[in-house]
Amino acid sequence: MRVLVAEDEPRIAGDVAAALKAAGFVPEIVRDGEAAWVKGDTEDYALIVLDLSLPRMDGLAVLKRWRAAGRHVPVLVLTARGAWAERVEGIDAGADDYLPKPFRMEELVARARALVRRSAGLGTAVIEVGALAVDPRQMRVSLNGVAQQLSPLEYRLVAYLALHKGRVVSTHELIEQLYGDDDARDANALEALVMRLRRKLGAEVIETRRGFGYLVPERPA
């Protein structure tokens, strides 16, 4: 799942991106408010981590523009510790959660997972679809209680489809959410990835809807 990290301090941005990548996300960094606004307004992300103290356009103005344009992506706001008025204003402007600096990366990742989960209408940490279970905390997939050995890319695909269980996810959306900017992106590679997963998890776990995309049914046969 793609995450936009809007943070102008290189060390913090790098640490946040590294923690999110280790947790199975696909992070992308921007360092000013204008770039954040354009990216968030024109591209699809599962989550945005937004520092409010950005150059060129402050994070609060960016957030207000997104919400005014109808962009409902979950936003986790980063603020300076003690800036309670800024946090209140951010939440009133449409932020979904906030984290004061300095913070533990483990907490940021946990909040990121929770926001993505809630945006998909899920309340539990483990995503269960019939015999399939996805645990984002451990980045583990099990089938009938047996842990499956998956590559990071295979895990990201099945986790994203399970998170959106019952919905047909287009090939374009999957490619956008699974691959980083430096990865090869094409429908053939995605199809090969789906085939590998079917060999490991069973052909019935992931369905193909020709011309539309893929889905994990609510209750796999």
Put simply, whether the predicted model's pTM sits higher than 0.95 gets the answer: no
| 182 and 137 both lie in a single domain | yes
Q: Are residues 85 and 28 in the same domain?
A: yes
Instruction: Indicate whether 113 and 190 sit together in one domain.
Output: no
Q: Is residue 106 part of a domain?
A: yes
149 and 87 inside one domain: no
Q: Is residue 170 part of a domain?
A: yes
Is position 188 within any domain?
Answer: yes
Task: Count structural domains, the chain.
Answer: 2
How many Å apart are CA 21 and CA 16, to the nearest integer? 9
39 token code pair? 């990216």
Q: Per the domain annotation, does 30 fall within a domain?
A: yes
Rounded Cα gap, residues 22 and 187, in angstroms: 25
The residue from 96, 119, 142 where one domain ends is: 119
In a domain, 221, yes or no: no
Q: How far apart are the first and last CA of the chain?
A: 26
* Lookup: tokens for 98: 């906030």
Among residues 119, 147, 163, the one where a domain terminates is 119
Whether the Cβ atoms of residue 209 and residue 171 lie closer than 8 Å to each other: no
Do residue 106 and residue 138 come from a single domain?
no
Query: Is the domain of 92 the same as that of 172?
Result: no
Domain end marker among 119, 135, 159: 119
Residue 122's pLDDT is 82
Task: Report if residue 220 sits inside a domain.
Answer: no
pLDDT of residue 180: 75
Residue 45 lies in a domain: yes
Residues 65, 151 within the same domain: no
Q: What is the pLDDT of residue 80?
A: 80
Query: 164 and 102: one domain?
Result: no
Q: Do residues 83 and 186 both lie within one domain?
A: no
CATH of the domain at 136: 1.10.10.10
Q: Which residue range(s) make up the domain with 98?
A: 2-119
pLDDT tens-digit profile, the chain (221 residues): 999 999 999 999 999 999 999 999 999 999 999 999 999 999 999 999 999 989 999 999 999 999 999 999 999 999 886 667 877 888 899 999 999 989 999 999 999 999 999 988 887 889 999 999 999 989 999 999 999 999 999 999 999 999 999 999 999 999 989 987 656 677 888 999 999 999 999 999 999 998 899 999 986 44
Residue 54 CA to residue 62 CA, distance in Å, equals: 9
Say yes or no: 92 and 189 in one domain: no
Say what the pLDDT of residue 51 is. Answer: 95
C-alpha separations of 16 from 27, 91, 94, 214 in Å: 9, 21, 22, 30
Whether residues 112 and 14 share a domain: the answer is: yes
Identify whether residues 40 and 81 lie together within a single domain: yes
Residue 183 has a pLDDT of: 60
Write down the pLDDT at residue 47: 97
> Where residue 96 sits, what CATH number does that domain have?
3.40.50.2300
